Amino acid sequence: MFEAAELGHKLSKAAYKEAVPGLRAALLEAQVNLFEKHKTPVLVLISGQDGAGKGETINTLYEWMDPRFISTMAFSQPSDEERERPPMWRYWRSLPPKGRLGMFAGSWYSDPIRERIQDEISTKELDARAEQINRFEEMLVNEGALILKFWFHLTKDGQKKRLKALSGDPRTAWRVTQWNWDRLKTYDQLQDVAGHLLRVTNTAAAPWVVVEGTDDRYRSMTVGQVLLAALQKKLAEPEAQRPVVAPMVRVDLDGRNVLSELDLALNLNDKDYKDELAQWQGRLSELVRDPRFKGRSLVCAFEGADAAGKGGAIRRIAGALDARQYQVTPVAAPTEEERAQPHLWRFWRHLPRHGHVAIFDRTWYGRVLVERVEGFCSEADWLRAYSEINDFEHEMIDAGVVVVKFWLQISQEEQLRRFKEREKIEFKRFKITQEDWRNREKWHDYQQAICDMVERTSTGDAPWTLVEANDKNYARVKIMRTLCLRLEAALKGQSAGKTAAPLKADKKTAKPAAADKPASTDKPAGADKPVAKVSKVSKN
C-alpha cells in the first residue's frame, strides 16, 4: 500500500504559499458550518512512522482552523485507570461531539501494531482486532461520524534522514530520543504489520489515505485538501436514509415465547425471604471482598416492565456493598451532551474500575425497547443495535468485567395494582407518571420487543436472567442468588454459560406462604448444573 508514497512527492514553496490562503478560508468556513449545524462529528486519525511529520501536521491544522472547535487526543501506553477498563474505553471517552473535530495522535490502531511487532499477539489475533476495529468504525459512521485516517509514510532511508535532521536542529532536537532510534531498527517489521493492518481496515466507511511524509509542504497541503473535500461533501449530503434490507418479523405459531412461559405465580413467604435474602447478601459481600475481585469488576444491568421492582432489587444489592465500592446509574432520556454522541457513549463512560460495581437502572437496551416502540430511532438504527450491544458486552467480558443482566417481568394485572398503590402512597407518587399509564397501551409491542431483545442478545457469557417478579420476595431472592452464583463462577474462572442462574432450589424456596419447610441456607441444589437456555432459567 506504500508504493505511491515513495515517489518523492514535493510541493514548491511558491505553490504552497499561493494555495494556503484559499485553503485556510475554505477550511474555516466548513468548520463553522459544521459547528452551526451540529450535523456530524469528525475524527481525524494521524498515524505513521516516527519523524514523518505527525505533530507538525496537527500544529498546522490548528494554525489554519479555529482551535475552539478542535480537540487533540494523544495516546501512548495506557494509564492505570485505563488498564482497569476495556481497551476501547479511553477512545470512547475521547470521541468528539457532533459539530466538532477531534484529532487523534495515536489511536485504536497503535496498540495492535505495537503488540504484533513485539510478538505479543499472533497474526490471527491481529486480524481479530482489525475486525473489531472495523465494526467500531462502521458503528461510528452509522451514527453519522466522518472518519479520516491518514498514514504518513517514509522509506527507511527517508526516516533515518528525517531523524538526523530533527536531532541536528536545536529547535527540534528535543523531539528525537533514543526510543525513536531504537524504533528505526523495527522499520521492516512495522512495514509488514502496518501494511497488513491498513489493508484489512481499508473499508468503504473509513478508508486510509497514505501520504508521503518527506516534504512538509506536500504533506500538509495533501491533508488539508483531503479534509476540506471530505467536510464539504459531508455538509452537502442530505440526511442519510438507511433502508432495511430484511425487516425482522417475529413468528410464534403456537403463541409461546420466553415471556409467556414464565410462571408468574411463583412466590416466597416472608420468613423464608428474610433468611434467603440475608444469606445471599452475606455471600455477595464476601465475594466483592475476595482478593480475586480486585482484578475484576461487576456490571449489573436492570431492565423490566414499569413498576416491576427494579429499584427495590437494586437497593437490596446496594445493602450488601460498601458505598465506596459501587455506583448506581439511573438511565432516562439522553441529555443534550449525550445526544451529540453515539448512543453507547453514555454507558461506556460509566464502566467501573477493578474491584468496583456498576449498577444500571435501565440500560443500553433502551435503543431496542423504548426507542424502537416509541419511534425515537429508525428501524435501521435499532436493528443494527443488537450486534453493537453484543460487541459492547463482549468487550467488557474480554476485559474481565462480569456482566449480569436481569429482565423483571410482571403481569398487566399486577402492574395495574402497583400503579394504583403508588398513587395512594405519599412517598411513591413520584414514581408514577402519565408516561407510565400511556406505556400500558403498548404492552403487546413492548412484549414483542423484549422477546426479540432476549433472543438476539442473550449470549453465552452475557445471558439474560428473566425474573418472575409478581412476587417481590421471590424476585429479589432470585436476583441476589443469580448475581452471587455468576460472580462466584467468574472468580473461579468458569464461563457464564456453564453457570447461568442455576436456580433449581427455587422449586423448594418458592412455595406459597403456607409452606412448612424453610429454604435451605446451604449451597442451592443444582448450583453446579448448567442451565443452557434463558427460557429454562426463567422457568425456575
Burial class (CB in 10 A: 0-12, 13-18, 19+), 160: middle
pLDDT higher at 165 or 316: 316
Same domain, 289 and 146: no
Q: Tell me, what amino acid is at 46?
A: I
Residues 230 and 313 in one domain: no
Kindly state whether residues 388 and 496 are assigned to the same domain.
yes
Angle at 82 between CA 78 and CA 84, to 5 degrees: 120
Low-confidence winner among 193-207, 230-244, 263-277 (lowest mean pLDDT): 230-244
| Cell numbers standing for residue 99 | 459539530
The pLDDT tens digits for 201-216 are 999 999 999 999 989 9
Q: Is residue 246 included in any domain, yes or no?
A: no
pTM as predicted: 0.86
In a domain, 308, yes or no: yes
Residue 60 or 184, more confident: 60
Q: Kindly state whether residues 351 and 489 are assigned to the same domain.
A: yes
What tens digit of pLDDT does each residue of 353-396 get? 999 999 999 999 999 999 999 999 999 999 999 999 999 999 99
Residue type, 22: G
**What is the predicted pLDDT for the residue at 526?**
37
Task: Note whether 116 and 126 are within 8 A (CB).
Answer: yes
Give yes or no for residue 537 having a pLDDT over 50.
Answer: no
In this structure, how many other beta carbons lie within 10 angstroms of the beta carbon of residue 159?
23
The pLDDT mean for the chain works out to 87
H helix or E strand, kind and range, residue 349: none
Percent of the chain beyond pLDDT 90? 71
* Cα(457)–Cα(340) distance, integer angstroms: 26
Report yes or no on 265 lying in a domain.
Answer: no
Q: How far apart are CA 490 and CA 401, in angstroms?
A: 9
CB atoms within 10 A of CB 153: 26
Nearest to 458 by CA among 401, 393, 410, 515: 393
Rounded to an integer, what distance in angstroms lies between the CA atom of residue 21 and that of residue 240?
Answer: 33
Sign of CA dihedral 510, 513, 516, 521: positive
Burial class of residue 423, CB neighbours in 10 A (0-12, 13-18, 19+): exposed
pLDDT, tens digit, for every residue of 27-65?
Answer: 999 999 999 988 899 999 999 988 888 999 999 999 999
Taking Cα atoms as reference points, which of 98, 102, 87 lies closest to residue 132? Answer: 87
Q: How many CA atoms lie within 13 A of 11 on its CB side?
A: 17
Say how many residues make up the chain. Answer: 540
Q: Of 126-130, 174-178, 293-297, 497-501, where does mean pLDDT reach its minimum?
A: 497-501
Tell the burial category of 180 from Cβ atoms under 10 Å away from its Cβ (0-12, 13-18, 19+).
Answer: middle
Place of cell 473535530: 101
Neighbours of 360 (CB within 10 A): 22
17 burial (CB, 10 Å; 0-12 / 13-18 / 19+) is exposed
Average the pLDDT over 499-507 and give the result. 43
Q: Say how far residue 393 (Cα) sits from the centre of its chain.
A: 7
Q: Are residues 91 and 203 in the same domain?
A: yes
**How would you classify residue 53: left for phi > 0, otherwise alpha for psi between -120 and 50, otherwise beta?**
left
Q: What amino acid is encoded at 160 in this protein?
A: K
Instruction: Give the rounded percent of residues in the chain with a pLDDT score beyond 70.
Output: 87
Q: Is there a domain that residue 249 lies in?
A: no
169 and 225 together in one domain: yes
Q: pLDDT confidence of 520, banded at 50, 70, 90?
A: very low
Rounded Cα distance, 511 and 505, in Å: 11
Does the residue 368 lie in any domain? Answer: yes
* Higher local confidence (pLDDT), 387 or 252: 387
Same structural domain, 219 and 360: no
**Is 253 inside any structural domain?**
no
| Amino acid, res. 448 | Q
What is residue 28's three-state secondary structure?
helix
For residue 6, the model assigns a pLDDT of 79
Looking at the structure, tell me whether residues 415 and 344 fall in a common domain: yes
Give the pLDDT of residue 102.
Answer: 97
Distances from the Cα of 223 to the Cαs of 22, 45, 54, 206, 207, in angstroms? 15, 11, 11, 15, 14
pLDDT, one tens digit per residue, over 419-458 is 888 877 666 666 667 677 677 889 999 999 999 999 999 9
Per-residue pLDDT tens for 342-354? 999 999 999 999 9
23 and 170 belong to one structural domain: yes
Alpha helices of 295-377 — where are they, by DSSP H? 310-318, 336-339, 345-348, 370-374
- Domain-located, residue 244: no
Nearest-angstrom CA–CA distance, 272 and 512: 11
For residues 73-99, average pLDDT: 94
Amino acid 432: pLDDT: 66
Q: Report the number of distinct structural domains present in the chain.
A: 2
Does one domain contain both 58 and 196? yes
Inside any domain, residue 53: yes
Q: How many CB atoms lie within 10 A of CB 521?
A: 12
Q: Please list, residue by residue across 51-89, b when 16 or more beta carbons sit within 10 angstroms of its beta carbon and e when fewer do.
A: bbbbebbbebbeebbeeebbebbebeeeeeebebbbbbb
Domain of residue 276, CATH code:
3.40.50.300
> In what side-by-side order are the strands of the sheet with 297-304?
326-330, 357-361, 297-304, 401-409, 464-468
Q: Do residues 275 and 357 both lie within one domain?
A: yes
Domain that holds residue 324: 270-539
What is the per-residue pLDDT for 158?
Answer: 84
Output the DSSP codes for 466-492.
EEE-SSHHHHHHHHHHHHHHHHHHHHT
Q: What are phi and psi of 2, to 5 degrees?
A: -105, 0
Strands 401-409 and 297-304, bridge-based pairing: parallel
CA distances from 110 to 39, 77, 183, 209, 211 (A): 29, 10, 14, 16, 18
Looking at the structure, do residues 431 and 376 belong to the same domain, yes or no?
yes
Identify the bridge partners of residue 326 per DSSP, sorted by sequence position: 357
